[in-house]
Amino acid sequence: MVGRYFIIGALFASLFQVFMDRSVMADIGQAPIKGTALMMGIAFVLSLCSSADAFVAASFSHSFLPGSILGFLVFGPMLDLKNVLIMMSCFKRSFVVTYVLLIFAVVFSLCLIAGGLISKGGF
């Protein structure tokens, strides 16, 4: 049952490794704000299960800072594209937008803080 998610995660990781320019990814990945936002965006769009997220995140570990990887691992299971589409069918649009923005802001800021602490050896 879980095996198919690992395969899908490995497929997306390999596609990103093959088709994304490494120099662009390295430049974005070394900027904490851009890297964290990008990784959270990738997690949102890919809508992978939390088991497969670790494999995809591991493929980015050479290009992105630890805070960005953490953003991918935390934000993806909390909120993704299919989750937002389901919420839009059940709740008012204003609630869903507020909820998404709140979750993004909290995870983004905490990942930046944690990434800074990890880089300085604080953890």
Q: Per-residue confidence at 75, pLDDT binned at 50, 70, 90? A: very high
**pTM of the predicted model as reported, rounded to 2 decimal places:** 0.79
Identify the CA nearest to 119 among candidates 40, 58, 64: 64
**C-beta of residue 41 within 8 angstroms of C-beta of residue 113:** no
| Predicted local confidence at residue 104, as pLDDT | 96
Above 70 in pLDDT, residue 85?
A: yes
| Predicted local confidence at residue 62, as pLDDT | 83
Above 70 in pLDDT, residue 9?
A: no
Query: From residue 13, how far is each of 6, 16, 55 by CA, in Å?
Result: 10, 5, 8
Above 90 in pLDDT, residue 109?
A: yes
Distance between CA 67 and CA 73 in Å, rounded? 10
Identify the CA nearest to 117 among candidates 57, 66, 74, 64: 66
